[in-house]
Structure 1
């Protein structure tokens, strides 16, 4: 499956990456690649779908001309990056805080563009 190769490349080319997961509109895992237990990244992905849907709804209610493309959440230990591929699929990536956020976002956005071509 080409998705697994794409996710593997993203994770292995991003320093201190923990993992990445492709999810559908319900937060169900389509494919993941991670250096943690699959359960951990699937658990995070299920919750990220809720956050992403709330942000999309908020954007509509605010009558924003710009759709939510991606967003990041930073904690003391990690960065979580979440982005839309299309209306049905999104990508989530977790990286250790030691990874520069701008580098992770650059690699993440390139991967989203590649996944858009594949889906």
Structure 2
């Protein structure tokens, strides 16, 4: 399944989702799907990918590796997750959305992306 289809299905299946982006280790967009400006999503993806990389660096102190994280701002939720060691998936949600409902389809999308990449 192509990256675009996985991201499109993810956004369309999660109530309140507005975009999803697959980014590489440098924060560069590999593929994205958004219901708003693609450029804005690319910036969110790059910044949140950097945060995920920093969390992964710190996880050496933990017994259990970090899978994903939800960042809540005044205007939205952002879900970030590792796709192997080299990529990250970032999804944006409306502030009113229930971020916990996004996690199962988000994690399924990561599984599908892993199969495509690795």
TM-score under structure 2 length normalisation: 0.93
Output the CA distance in 1 between the equivalents of 2:50 and 2:88. Answer: 11
Instruction: In structure 1, list runs of 5 or more residues that go unmatched.
Output: none
Please list every run of at least 4 consecutive aligned residues from structure 1 whose deviation after the TM superposition is greater than 3 angstroms: none
Structure 2 unmatched ranges of 5 or more: none
2:18·2:34 contact (CA, 8 Å) conserved in 1?
Answer: yes
In the aligned structure 2, how far is the partner of 1:16 from the partner of 1:59? 30
The separation in 2 between residues aligned to 1:90 and 1:2, in whole angstroms, is 16
Work out the number of aligned pairs and report it.
117
1:36-55 superposed matches below 5 A: 36-55=36-55
Aligned equivalents of 1:89, 1:46: Cα separation in 2: 11
For 2:57, the equivalent position in structure 1 comes to: 57
Q: Establish whether residue 20 from structure 1 lines up as the match of residue 20 from structure 2.
A: yes
**Aligned counterparts of 1:53 and 1:10: Cα–Cα separation in 2:** 22
1:111 counterpart residue number: 109
Instruction: Tell whether the 8 Å contact from 2:49 to 2:90 is kept in structure 1 after alignment.
Output: no
Of 29-38 and 72-81, more deviation after overlay is shown by: 72-81
CA distance in 2, matches of 1:41, 1:50: 14
TM-score calculated relative to the size of structure 1:
0.92
CA shift for structure 1 position 76:
2.8
Q: CA deviation at 1:98?
A: 2.1
